[in-house]
Chain A
Amino acid sequence: MGKITNQEVLDKIAAKFNEQVTVIGEPHSLLTVETGRDQIIDLLAFLKNDATLQFIFLTDITAIHYPEQEKPIGVIYHLHSLVNNVRIRVKVFLHDADVHIPTATVLWDGANWMERETYDFFGVVFDGHPDLRRILNVDDMTAFPMRKEFPLEDPNRVDKKDYFFGR
C-alpha cells in the first residue's frame, strides 16, 4: 500500500482546484477523478511537480468511447507516484464535435506515442503535439477504428457470406 492515502491526495487536489476536479470513485482502491480539458494540464503538472505527491511516472494515456453520452469521448490518464507508490486515474470527457485536448508532451516525453495512439484510434486531437500522425494504422485511413460505430469486420467483404457455405 502507498505511503499516502487517497484521501490525502484528494485533499491536496481539492485545496488547489476546488470543484474543478470531481471524484468519480475509488474502484479497487485506485482514485479516479474527472476534470475538464481546460484544467487537465494544470492538474497533471500539479500532480507531477507537487513535492509530496510526485506522480512522476506517466503510466498510460488512452481513450474510451460512450456513444450515448453527451460527451462521448473520454481521455484517460494513469499516473503513478513511484515515491509514494500510489496510482491515480484522471478522466476528461470531450464533446464529439470538438475533440480537442491540450497535449501532455510538455510534461512527459513519453506521452508522445501514447497520444498518437489515442489519436489514431479515437480521433482525439492533442493540441500542441509535436507530431500528431497515425501510428499503428495506415496513414491513408480516414476512420477512427476504436470508436464503437466502427465495425469489427469490413461490412463489404463477401468471402464470409452464407451462400458460400451452402446456408
Chain B
Amino acid sequence: MQNHPVFFDNDPQGELSTLNLGPTHPATHGVFQNVLQMDGERIVSGVSTIGYIHRAFEKIAEHRPFYQITPLTDRLNYCSSPINNMGWHMTVEKLAGITMPKRVDYMRVIIMELARIADHIICNGVLGVDTGAFTGFLYMMEYREEIYEIYEEICGSRLTTNIGRIGGFERNFNTIAFNKIRKFLKEFPPVLKEFENLFNRNRIFIDRTKGVAPVTAETALSYSWSGPLLRAAGIDYDVRAMEPYSSYEDFDFEIPVGENGDVYSRFLVRNEEMKQSLRIIEQALTKIEKEPADIFHADVPEFYLPPKEEVYNNMEALIYHFKIVMGEVETPVTDVYHAVEGANGELGFYLVNDGGRSPYRLHFRRPSFINYQMYAPMSQGMLLSDAIINMSSLNVIAGELDA
C-alpha cells in the first residue's frame, strides 16, 4: 500500500488533526470521502477521495448494444434517472438521424421535468435536514413519492427507471398516469409554497446558509460548473434554452439566476426551477392534447424494439427484434456529442461510433464529477458544519460522481 498518497505534509509539528469525513458518513448522503486537516472546528485543507462505487460504465458500454446501455445510465444520477435515460435515447437518435413526433417530445419533457422536480425535492429537503429542520424534508418527500408513482404507472419501476426506448416510449401514458400528473400539478404548488414559507425567511436557515461558500461567476466558469450551481453564481446557462432538445423551444419558461453563488442562492434557484418545471409540465399537458393520442414512438422499426406480441406473430417484427437485439442495425460512423440539462448540470454523452454492435467509445460528461472537484479547495477555511451544508447544496450524487 506504499502507493497511497501522503495527504498532508504541511504540518511537521503535528498541531493539526486529520479527520476522515466519510466514506460513509450519515451527513454526506452517499459514498464521499474527504480527508480533512482540521484546526479545531476549522478546515485547513482537504483532499477528496472518490471512486468508491466506480462501476466502469464506460468500459461496459463498449461491450453492449445501444439499447442495453439505457440501464447503465439509470445508475448515474439515480435521483433523476429519466433525464439520463432520455439523454441517452436522444444521443442515439441524433446519431441515427431520427426525429421524434411532437407528442413523444412532449411526453419526454413531462417526464424529464418531473425528474428534475424529484431531484430538487431531495436536494433542498436534505439541505433543510442538515440545517436542523426535518419537517420540510418529510413534507416534500411525500411528493417525490407521488412522482415515483407516476414513473411506476408509465414504466413499472421507481428509482432506476429504464424509461422509454430508443425511438420513443415502450407504451403510451395511460389515463391513470395523466390523472396522477394532473393531481401532482394541483397538489404540489401549495406544498412548495409552504416549504418556501418555512425556509426562505427563516432566521436560523438564513444564518446557516447565506454567505456560506460563495462562488463568483468567474470561479464557477473556471471550474466548468453547470446547472443550478452555475446559475446560482449568476450565469444563465441552461442547455434547455441554449441548445433546445426534445422541443424545449416550444415552451415558455424562465431561467432563474442567483446572485452570489452561496448555499442560500442555490437553494432559491432550485426552488424557483421547480416552479418553472411545473409551468413546463402544464404547457406540455395542453400541447399534448392537440396531438394524436395514439402516437408514443417514432416510426423507426430498425431502432425501436417492437412489442412482444408482434415479435411472436409477425415476421417483420421478429426480424427487426433480432437485428436490434443482436446489434445488427446499421449506424453512421461518426462522433456525436449530445447534452441535456440534468438536474445538477450539463449531462453530456460523447459517443464515438464505428458502425459496430456497440459504441466504440462512450464518455459521460457527468455534472456531479465536474461540480464536485471544487469542494475540497472551497472548503479551506470553512467551519466543518458549513462544509457539510455546502456538500448538500452541491447535490453531488455518488453514482454520477463515480460512474
**A residues within 8 Å of B by Cβ?**
27-28, 30, 32, 56-60, 62, 64-65, 76, 78, 82, 85, 87, 89, 108-114, 117, 121, 133-140, 145-146, 150, 152
Q: Is the Cβ of B402 less than 8 Å from the Cβ of A136?
A: yes
* Chain B residues bordering chain A, tally (CB within 8 A): 45
Q: Is the Cβ of A135 less than 8 Å from the Cβ of B50?
A: yes
Nearest chain A CB to B238 CB, angstrom units: 11
Closest B residue to A32 by beta carbon equals B335
Nearest chain B CB to A85 CB, angstrom units: 5
Task: Give the number of residue pairs across the A-B interface with Cβ within 8 Å.
Answer: 97
Contact among B4, B60, B237 with A57 in the assembled complex (CB-CB below 8 Å): B237
Give CA–CA (A4, B354) in the complex, Å.
Answer: 30
CB of B373 within 8 A of chain A? yes
Q: Is the Cβ of A82 less than 8 Å from the Cβ of B237?
A: yes
**B residues within 8 Å of A by Cβ?**
1, 3-5, 50-51, 54, 56, 58-60, 62-63, 94, 219, 221-225, 235, 237, 242-243, 334-337, 339, 346, 348, 350, 352, 360-361, 363, 365, 369-370, 372-374, 377, 402-403
Q: Is the Cβ of B94 less than 8 Å from the Cβ of A28?
A: yes
Of residues A87, A121, A136, A152, which shows the largest number of chain B Cβ atoms within 10 Å of its Cβ?
A136
Q: Is the Cβ of B365 less than 8 Å from the Cβ of A60?
A: yes
Q: Is the Cβ of B58 less than 8 Å from the Cβ of A137?
A: no
Contact among B4, B352, B361, B370 with A113 in the assembled complex (CB-CB below 8 Å): B370
Q: Is the Cβ of A145 less than 8 Å from the Cβ of B59?
A: yes
Give CA–CA (A78, B5) in the complex, Å.
Answer: 30
Of residues B5, B360, B361, which shows the largest number of chain A Cβ atoms within 10 Å of its Cβ?
B361
Q: Is the Cβ of A110 less than 8 Å from the Cβ of B337?
A: no
Q: Is the Cβ of B59 less than 8 Å from the Cβ of A60?
A: no
Q: Is the Cβ of B337 less than 8 Å from the Cβ of A30?
A: yes
Give CA–CA (A101, B346) in the complex, Å.
Answer: 26
Q: Is the Cβ of A58 less than 8 Å from the Cβ of B224?
A: yes
**A residues in contact with B225, CB < 8 Å:** 110
**B residues in contact with A109, CB < 8 Å:** 219, 222-223, 374, 377
A-B interface, 9 closest residue pairs, ranked by CB to CB distance from nearest:
A110-B224, A136-B51, A113-B373, A110-B223, A136-B54, A27-B334, A62-B363, A60-B365, A139-B3
Give CA–CA (A133, B51) in the complex, Å.
Answer: 13
Q: Is the Cβ of B224 less than 8 Å from the Cβ of A59?
A: yes
Q: Is the Cβ of A136 less than 8 Å from the Cβ of B223?
A: no
Nearest chain B CB to A55 CB, angstrom units: 11
What 6 additional pairs, Cβ within 8 angstroms, besides A27-B335, A62-B350, A65-B361? A27-B336, A30-B335, A59-B348, A60-B363, A85-B243, A109-B219
Nearest chain B CB to A134 CB, angstrom units: 8
Q: Is the Cβ of B361 less than 8 Å from the Cβ of A64?
A: yes
**A residues in contact with B5, CB < 8 Å:** 133, 139
Contact among A57, A87, A136, A139 with B224 in the assembled complex (CB-CB below 8 Å): A57
Contact among B336, B365, B403 with A136 in the assembled complex (CB-CB below 8 Å): B403
Nearest chain B CB to A130 CB, angstrom units: 11
**A residues in contact with B59, CB < 8 Å:** 145-146, 150, 152
Known A-B contacts A82-B235, A85-B243; the reply to A56 vs B221 at CB < 8 A is yes
Q: Is the Cβ of A78 less than 8 Å from the Cβ of B402?
A: no
Contact among B3, B62, B346, B363 with A140 in the assembled complex (CB-CB below 8 Å): B3
Give CA–CA (A111, B377) in the complex, Å.
Answer: 14
Nearest chain A CB to B88 CB, angstrom units: 16
Q: Is the Cβ of A110 less than 8 Å from the Cβ of B3?
A: no
Give CA–CA (A7, B240) in the complex, Å.
Answer: 25
Contact among B63, B334, B352 with A152 in the assembled complex (CB-CB below 8 Å): B63
17 residue pairs of the A-B complex, CB under 8 angstroms, read A27-B336, A60-B365, A62-B350, A64-B361, A78-B337, A78-B365, A82-B221, A82-B235, A87-B337, A108-B222, A110-B374, A111-B224, A113-B370, A140-B3, A145-B56, A146-B58, A146-B59
Q: Is the Cβ of A78 less than 8 Å from the Cβ of B350?
A: yes
Give CA–CA (A62, B403) in the complex, Å.
Answer: 14
**A residues in contact with B223, CB < 8 Å:** 108-110
Give CA–CA (A135, B50) in the complex, Å.
Answer: 6
Give CA–CA (A5, B63) in the complex, Å.
Answer: 37
Give CA–CA (A107, B213) in the complex, Å.
Answer: 23
**B residues in contact with A78, CB < 8 Å:** 337, 348, 350, 365
Q: Is the Cβ of A85 less than 8 Å from the Cβ of B242?
A: yes
**B residues in contact with A108, CB < 8 Å:** 222-224
